[in-house]
Amino acid sequence: MTKCGYVSVVGRPNAGKSSLLNWLVGEKIAMVSHKANATRKRSNIIVMHNDNQIVFVDTPGLHETEKLLNQFMLDEALKAMGDCDVILFLAPVTDKLTHYESFLEKNKKDVKHILLLTKIDNVSGEEVLQKIHEYEKYSDKYEAIIPISIKKATKHSDILDEVVKYLPEHPYLFDPEIMTTEHLRDIFKEFIRESIFENISDEIPYETDVIVNKVEEKPNVDVIKATIIVQKSTQKGMIIGKGATAIKRIGKDARTKIEKLTGRKCFLELFVSIKKGWTKDKKGLKELGYDVTF
């Protein structure tokens, strides 16, 4: 009998959640950024492993917050934690245990979890052992602790074999050929957002969103039109840049990512529009597809 179930991937902003999922699925689907808090919504990434189907749910980082958009992100992560068969909690190996302790408090339903110590390529083997030792005081809480690095040495099966143990016997929930339940349009949106994070500094990317207005598949090219939403006119100026250099760079980077995923040529046209204070009010958030329920 095959096993199939949901696995929530949680951890503080920048813990390496999206990178792990892209690496496991072998394709770049989730958004990765060196800046924290880039992932805003839950998304499903499907990995087949020895005839079993694992549905990973990428979540926004767990963090404390005041801003409404950030509260929405936290709410998304908590919902995913409550709704799954097992949780993968990612803790960068250099982190103190405080993030893990606050996760234990948030895991109200006591869903089983596996602790992944991430980015171990940044430290020595001795430091990894030392950290494992520190976590041992919580060994009755986690099912397993696995040190990983997506940059070297770790094998997919090191993680997937362990995850499958905690899934129920269940027929596949999704077509085994698909890698994600996300629509291509949403993936394009995330690629454009990621390119904004890569090219524009400071707080601006956090106050920016993207609407994909149109995707037209022509015989030799995909024509995509998208609008970058900002909160104020100074931000619009920054996104466009002197002589439109910034927006050209954003467009070029996003196009490269899209073409790599689809294997087709892409013509990407970007516009910029101002929506005052959209991260701060429910109406603004809802209009952009963040379904605030609190």
Ligand X SMILES: Nc1nc2c(ncn2[C@@H]2O[C@H](COP(=O)(O)OP(=O)(O)OP(=O)(O)O)[C@@H](O)[C@H]2O)c(=O)[nH]1
Closest approach, Cβ 225 to ligand X, in A, equals: 26
Which residue type occupies 131?
K
How many Cβ atoms sit within 10 Å of the Cβ of residue 117?
22
Whose CA is closest to 18, among 154, 140, 138, 150? 150
Which residue type occupies 60?
P
Q: Among the candidate windows 45-53, 147-155, 177-185, 265-273, which touches ligand X by CB under 6 A?
A: 147-155
219 is in an annotated binding site: no
15 is in an annotated binding site: yes
Q: For ligand X, which residue of 7, 8, 17, 46 counts as binding (CB under 6 A)?
A: 17
Question: Distance (Å, rounded) from C-alpha 189 to C-alpha 258?
Answer: 10
How many Cβ atoms sit within 10 Å of the Cβ of residue 224?
26
Q: For ligand X, which residue of 3, 28, 119, 193 counts as binding (CB under 6 A)?
A: 119
Q: For ligand X, which residue of 122, 157, 233, 234 counts as binding (CB under 6 A)?
A: 122
Site string for ligand X, 43-62 (x = CB under 6 A): -----------------xx-
Closest approach, Cβ 120 to ligand X, in A, equals: 7
Q: For ligand X, which residue of 111, 123, 128, 150 counts as binding (CB under 6 A)?
A: 150
Question: Distance (Å, rounded) from C-alpha 39 to C-alpha 61?
Answer: 7
59 is in an annotated binding site: yes
Q: Which residues contact 15 (CB under 8 A, 6 or more apart)?
A: 61, 90, 91, 92, 95, 118
Contact status: 39 vs ligand X (CB under 6 A)? yes
Contact status: 132 vs ligand X (CB under 6 A)? no
Q: Among the candidate windows 32-40, 156-164, 177-185, 275-283, which touches ligand X by CB under 6 A?
A: 32-40
Question: Residues, the chain, total?
Answer: 294
35 is in an annotated binding site: no
Whose CA is closest to 255, among 237, 267, 247, 263? 267
* Residues engaged in binding ligand X (CB under 6 A): 11, 13-19, 32-34, 36-39, 60-61, 118-119, 121-122, 149-151
